[in-house]
Amino acid sequence: MNSDKPLAIVAGAGTGLGQSLLARFQAGGMTTIGLGRTQPQEMTAPFHQVDLSDPSAVAPVISELIAAHGPPKIVVHNTAELVIAPFPETTLEDYQRTWTSMVQSLVVLGQCVLQPMVRGGGGVLIVSGATASLRGGPRFSAFASAKFALRGLTQSLAREYQPAGVHVSHVVLDGIIDTPRSRDLHSLDPSKMMKPYEISEAYWQLAHQPQSTWTHELDLRPASEGF
């Protein structure tokens, strides 16, 4: 086992925040691995293309990583499946797809990493949330229902694993992350969008809090964002 550098895993390591997180953890002296359904065109770290909602696909990958590098010290769950549609046009499949992508994938990931992290002396699990984690807006019923469930699941994991030394935290990203896709999707001044590398710095700081002052929920937003 190569344990010279602690292992950081980003599940949902797509273009934007996922790749920025890998770059920040790498700069902090960690071995970084990205996981995701679609391999980004530009990668800052090794990437495993895997269906994060499928335990038979995820478990072997995580086992191999732990065998090679030891239990992870930082794990970030950063998956998303955005559905925007009026309620009458939102299908049951839309709800199932958002739940599978965001909630089921955390269940699968957590069952693969949390016990090894406990046995390895602790670590940090950070879950990316959104404005929809706190309030459901019109045309966001599928997305918001899954984000609400993801927040509740994260709270339960925090209360179960914090006494065992694993810091479980939920980050509410209350704004639009600046990526090429989001610029195409939203008519918004880029200066009012959240910069991925600046979000990743907040995650890094969150992952290094002393045990006497652990944050469970952190909300981040641009200065221009109303709340």
pLDDT in tens, 87-127: 999 999 999 999 999 999 999 999 999 999 999 999 999 99
In a domain? residue 78: yes
Whether the predicted pLDDT of 217 surpasses 70: yes
Residue 176 DSSP SS3: coil
Output the average pLDDT for the chain.
Answer: 95
Determine the pLDDT at residue 23. Answer: 97
| DSSP symbol at 208 | T
Q: Model-level pTM?
A: 0.95
Whether the predicted pLDDT of 224 surpasses 90: no
Cα separation, 88 vs 53, whole angstroms = 27
Determine the pLDDT at residue 4. Answer: 82
In a domain? residue 225: no
In a domain? residue 123: yes
pLDDT in tens, 156-212: 999 999 999 999 999 999 999 988 777 777 777 888 899 999 999 999 999 999 999
Q: Exposed e or buried b for every residue in 118-154, given b needs 16+ CB within 10 A?
A: bebebbbbbbbbbbbbbebeeebbbbbbbbbbbbebb
Cα separation, 25 vs 76, whole angstroms = 11
Cα separation, 150 vs 108, whole angstroms = 13
In a domain? residue 226: no
pLDDT in tens, 57-71: 999 999 999 999 999
In a domain? residue 94: yes
pLDDT in tens, 123-154: 999 999 999 999 999 999 999 999 999 999 99
Cα separation, 162 vs 214, whole angstroms = 9
State how beta strands 47-49 and 166-173 pair.
unpaired
By the 8 A CB rule, do 85 and 139 touch? yes
Residue with tokens 């652990």: 214
Q: Write down the H helix ranges in 14-140.
A: 17-27, 55-69, 92-99, 105-119
Instruction: Provide the domain limits for residue 122.
Output: 7-220
Q: CATH code at 30?
A: 3.40.50.720
In a domain? residue 227: no
By the 8 A CB rule, do 150 and 100 touch? no
Q: Give the relative orientation of helices 105-119 and 141-161 as an angle to the nearest 10 degrees.
A: 20
- Structural domains of the chain, count: 1
